[in-house]
Structure 1
Amino acid sequence: MLSPEEIRKLRPRLDAQIITPADAGYDAARAVYPAGIDHRPAVVIRPDRAEQVAQVVLLARETGMPLSVRGGGHSTVGHGVCDGGIMLDLAHMRALDIDVATRTAWVQAGMSAGEYTVAAEVHGLATGFGDTGTVGIGGLTLGGGIGYLVRKHGLTIDNLLAAEIVTADGRIRQVDENNHPDLFWAIRGGGGNFGVATRFRFRLHPVRSIVGGMLVLPATAEVIRSFVAEAEAAPDELSTIANIMPAPPMPFLPEEQHGRLVLMATLCYAGPSEAGERVLAPFRALATPLADMLQTMPYSGLYPPEDEDFHPLAASHTMFVDTVGAAEAETILDFLQSSTAMMPAAQLRVLGGAMARVPAEATAFAHRQSRIMVNLAAIYEAADEAGVHEAWIRRFADAIRQRDHGAYVNLLGDEGPDRIRAAYPGRTWDRLRAIKAKYDPTNLFRLNQNIPPGVDG
């Protein structure tokens, strides 16, 4: 533990913003997106360049203090903030340099997906991230990145050309297919296990506008089954995210529908408007829409403003399934109707397309042939309700589980080593452990979905 005197001496040494428990901004600095996380780091350090990050990494090595790395603060278990250790906050690392001619961008890892998207859109360009604008691009990218362009342009990591990363020895490494290719492979899906990513070089795609937005339909088994079937049959230009949930009291929904189960979908057709209207027509025809906001719009319109005061308590489970037919749809409806949570939900993301055309061994994200990602959630009000909703989530997952037992690391909670193994099946796990042993043999970067260093055998 650093004493107040030692922290005082750090300020000129690190040349970075340092926040301690005695400072007025401490509680705001340690806040993260999920509720129920009250970790108190000994010090919060906010660098603005890789050299400062390297100094913080070496400080953690010297002191033996826990080191957490915060990007956007959206980790479901609060990995970005630690108790009694050093919290490395990338909030000041938001520089973006777009090269329109080469359709590439260098960006620091503290920028949010929404900020990057708005800036790139000025040039009619986009990189696909996730489904939430306030998520930091650092953690999202390192885990894979499954969003509104996944079928058209692949995962976020499929558009990662290079990265700057500070490893556990304090070295600043430039990694790509030719420089430290093993490390470049590992950070494309392996999470924050291998160092602090400080900058990324992304490929940008021409996306001047999309056809899409929100479509709300009554949730029946046939609507759910048909929605999934249409999403699977659609061209790669269309990516969809469908949430089956009780209708919230939104002003654009009829009051009599509030609380009833609906299918609330966000659709994104990344192609010409006329073709997009044709592709979206079958979705509109599944049932009389309760709300139809599908239109030609800027891609950034898929990242609406968010409530900064929303910090949910939630139980959740991420998984993959091969099919959602009539039987699975009925099971989903039955479970949602049985929940006592404030807001239960089942999210369905049909995958495939460009994501599936990348070989499974090309990156540390190994779920290239997974067909549908399912995320189950129960948002509740009081901490003492957790056990009830976690048990409901487990039963729900067991009821719809099929032969694909994989997991998406970016949506894992605190679920134990077996679930981390599920994110990295087969030889992927062995390869990651060997690379971890090479670059972080003491497991300095352990506040994450951890891959321990070593070689199985």
Structure 2
Amino acid sequence: MLKNSHFHHGWTLKSPLGSLSIAAAAPRNDLESCLAKAVGGNVDRAQFPTEESFITNDVKHFNLNLKYEPAAVMYPQNKQQVVEVVKCAAKHDKKVQARSGGRDFISKCLGGADGAVVIATVSPGNRLRSLVEGLNKNGKRFIPHGASPTVGVGGHLMVGGSGLATRQHGLAIDMLEQVEVVLADGTITTASEKKHSDLFFAMRGAGASFGIATEFKLRTLPEPKEVVSFQFNFTSDNPADLSESLKAYHQILRDPNLSRKLGATSNISKKTFFLNGGFFGSEAEYKALNLEGRLPEMSSKRVVPGMSYIDFINGIMQAASGFPDSANMYTKDTVVTPSTLPTNATIDAFVNHITTASADGSGWTFLIDLYGGAGNEVATDATAFPHRDLIYSLTAAALTDGPTTKTAEDFIDNAVLKLQDGKPGRFLAYAGVPNYKLNNAQAMYWGPNLARLRKIKSKYDPEDMFSTPQNIKP
């Protein structure tokens, strides 16, 4: 399995292992011949722009605002073919990156520019739904993971991987025991706490910058015995009601004793605050939490106790599958800590903005994914993912029929700025939902771990073969 990533001036490759990107300036025919040979001469596993369906079948742009055209899309069958592709790229002075599920908000898995080489994972085991179902069928096991069924396992594991069970069990990367990696020099190595621990640190949160992950060893957990599913809908034409529900929810989030068994995500639109999640315990424990009593009157609610974990998560994934496979979009993800939690005043300013400002006809949403608990017990310098003090992540998205306008982008940026009390950069950012306009992106994504990551990059990839515009640089 390979992780999401991007590169410049090369080709794109896909496989049951993952995806790679390569960029260079050698004659195309020489490079194409080399790449074709790398996958055993199988013409079906080496796709180039001359193919009529190259864009629709192989490139498959996710964010239509960034329609890069890679020089090739490859489908290696095994890790040795991945090695040969990387060697071929090095021979022709090309950049390389990996793609897993292809759910990429800034098209970095297509190289972040035209002419890259990408290897994308298409094996069913590289999608979260397949991982969830496979673990369930093999002993009713699970790991904390996200909600989108189409997200690639490789990309999810290499960037962080938060989900509804994060407060109880941490991130997906916290379950990682060992990762097998194809390095820039074409060698295969394994990284763990005991072997190449520096590389293991880097791969857990910034993996796309360091190599192609071809195998993961994960520590799994027994599935929760029962789950209480809940859905709370607060809808009103009065912006003050929307503010009231958001303020009440933030008051709950300030509770230092909030049960770790609670997992939740919420959706904010112009008239609605929709809170959706699960309590990983009994109905009696859920009632003791008094979640409903701490919130304003609801427009509607649905609470289902005693669900099996697999039924619960399938319902969550079904709801999350409504996100389009491709669209013109502008996204922004920020991480909120106890010291930067929005106040009542900033919530009022935010609600006033989203209910009065123009979004230029875009369809927009703001998502709050609850964090904290076990995820916060891991040291900041234990993994490349640095955000170990956050309470929630805030993801903002604007989707448009055509290219996203500056007005729509400004609507999103200014809404987040309202929550930040008018102080740009007050929130750091999550690399899993990158922003194509973000200044100083590396510092925003990796914070205090950036200097260490640059040193590791210089050791394992000094020529920046695994390159994207916002990746770690040597």
User: What TM-score results when the alignment is normalised by the length of structure 2?
Assistant: 0.82
Q: In the alignment, is the contact (CA less than 8 A) between 2:143 and 2:221 conserved in 1?
A: yes
Code of the aligned partner of 1:118: E
C-alpha separation in 2, matches of 1:407 and 1:346: 15
What does residue range 15-414 of structure 1 map to in structure 2 within 5 Å? Answer: 15=40, 17-27=45-55, 28-82=57-111, 83-92=114-123, 94=124, 111-122=126-137, 123-208=139-224, 209-218=226-235, 220-233=242-255, 234-246=258-270, 261-279=271-289, 281-282=291-292, 286-292=296-302, 294-295=304-305, 296-297=307-308, 298=311, 299-304=313-318, 306-307=321-322, 310-321=325-336, 322-337=340-355, 338-340=357-359, 341-383=361-403, 385-401=404-420, 404-414=426-436
Report the residue type matching 1:210 in the other structure. Answer: V
How many equivalent residue pairs? 421
Task: Look up the equivalent residue of 2:234 and give its one-letter code.
Answer: L
Q: Sequence identity, in percent?
A: 23
Q: CA deviation at 1:210?
A: 2.4
Following superposition, the deviation at residue 286 of structure 1 comes to 2.8
Aligned pair in 2 of structure 1 residues 288, 309: CA closer, same or farther (>3 Å)?
A: closer
Q: Specify the code of the residue in structure 1 equivalent to 2:115.
A: G
More off after superposition, 299-308 vs 135-144: 299-308
Distance 1:212 1:223, change over 3 A: same
SS in 1 for 2:247: helix
Q: Gapped runs of 5+ residues in structure 2?
A: 1-25, 236-240
**Distance in 1 (alpha carbons) for counterparts of 2:231 and 2:132:** 19
- Displacement of 1:40: 1.9
Paired with 1:212 and 1:276, the residues of 2 have a C-alpha distance of: 10
Cα distance change of structure 1 residues 312 and 11 upon mapping to structure 2, 3 Å threshold: closer
Shift of 1:74: 1.1
The alpha-carbon deviation at position 411 of structure 1 amounts to 1.3
Please give the secondary structure, in 2, of the residue aligned with 1:151. Answer: helix
Alpha-carbon deviation of 1:431? Answer: 0.4
Separation in structure 2 between the aligned mates of residue 197 and residue 439 of structure 1, nearest angstrom: 14
**Deviation for aligned residue 1:120:** 1.3
Runs of 4+ more than 6 Å apart: none
Does 2:472 align with 1:451?
A: yes
Task: Return the offset for 1:417.
Answer: 5.0
- Tell me which of the two structures has the higher relative contact order, counting C-alpha pairs closer than 8 angstroms and 6 or more residues apart: 2
Does structure 2 retain, via aligned residues, the 8 Å contact 1:30–1:81?
A: yes
Task: Give the drift of 1:48.
Answer: 2.7
Matching residue within 451, 461, 464 for 1:440: 461
Q: Secondary structure at the match of 1:221?
A: helix
Contact 2:331/2:398, CA 8 A, preserved across alignment = yes
Asked if the contact 2:31/2:92 (under 8 Å) is kept, the reply is: no
Cα distance, 1:279–1:210 mapped onto 2, change above 3 Å: same
Q: Is the 8 A contact 2:350 2:416 kept in 1?
A: no
Letter in 2 for 1:324: P
- TM-superposed CA distance for 1:136, in Å, is 0.6
